Amino acid sequence: MSADGDMELDLIAVGAHPDDVEIACGGTLARLARKGYAVGIVDLTDGEPTPNSPGPDVRLEEARKAAEVLGVQMRINLNLPNRRLFDGFEERVALARVFRRHRPKVVLGFGGKTVLASPDHYQAMLITDAAVFYSRLTKWDEHFDGLPPHTITNQLSFPIALHGLDLPEASGYVIADMSSTLDVKLQAVRCYQTQFPANKIGIYSAVETMNRYHGLTAGFEAGELFLTYRSVGVDDLMRWASPTHART
């Protein structure tokens, strides 16, 4: 796993803190990496301070191990302030620079609020939305260190909702099959021992149960839910609606 450089990526997932992306879409990232796609993670903050962590160095090492487990090619931390993360111009530009440098085709980020959880999640959603837009703007070179504009093909969002089935508003919902990487995802989440000590061990069963539920709704053993904000088109309705009966 690389930490920097100018590697071009197929997909970047953005979280507010280390462990957000693992919980929300770690199985999908692991499966895409195993299919040969270049996958990266951006953490906006180091997640510190937190009650059971001795400091940011430990949390960052947990993040490094988790990324290694998932098999992603790159993980970047923007070192924005945890607990004081707010959508602002400099925060938007910092993330847009990452998009311009690594030129992902797809960006994944937070969708909706996570009630009773960190408000950083919602701010991360706003920052990501703006950075996707800023990434493609021309005639604004002075803010982007000479990095050329880059248009991201698609943006999808993930909810972190382990305590209910209500979904944020979106144009549609996509379930990504991650049956083969569910165990890998759980292994990556377990890397965060400072965040999930013995008294929080229920997080693993909650994550697994939600992934198995979402997978079941789409006919998979396990799946992860993504929100889409544009209509999804098909060129062969039968192939999509009944793939085993479609004509070749």
pLDDT digits (tens, 9 = 90+) for 157-183: 999 877 777 777 778 999 999 999 999
Average pLDDT over residues 142-148: 95
Starting at the edge strand that comes first in sequence, how are the strands of the sheet with 223-228 ordered?
74-80, 39-45, 11-15, 106-110, 154-158, 223-228, 172-177
Percent of the chain with pLDDT over 70: 97
CATH classification for the domain delimited by 11-245, as one of 3.40.50.620, 3.40.50.10320, 1.10.10.10, 2.60.120.10: 3.40.50.10320
The band of 231, judged by pLDDT with boundaries at 50, 70 and 90, is confident
Chain position carrying tokens 């960190």: 118
pLDDT at position 113, please? Answer: 83
Tell me: pLDDT of 3 over 60. no
The band of 232, judged by pLDDT with boundaries at 50, 70 and 90, is confident
Say how far apart CA 79 and CA 210 lie, in whole Å.
30
pLDDT at position 169, please? Answer: 78
Q: Strands, E, within the chain: which ranges?
A: 11-15, 39-45, 74-80, 106-110, 154-158, 172-177, 223-228
The band of 1, judged by pLDDT with boundaries at 50, 70 and 90, is low
Strand-pair partners of 108: 13, 156
The band of 2, judged by pLDDT with boundaries at 50, 70 and 90, is low
Specify the DSSP element, H or E, that contains 78.
strand 74-80
Say how far apart CA 222 and CA 228 lie, in whole Å.
19
Average pLDDT over residues 70-95: 98
Phi and psi at residue 189, in whole multiples of 5°?
A: -65, -35
pLDDT at position 247, please? Answer: 65
* Average pLDDT of the chain, as a whole number: 93
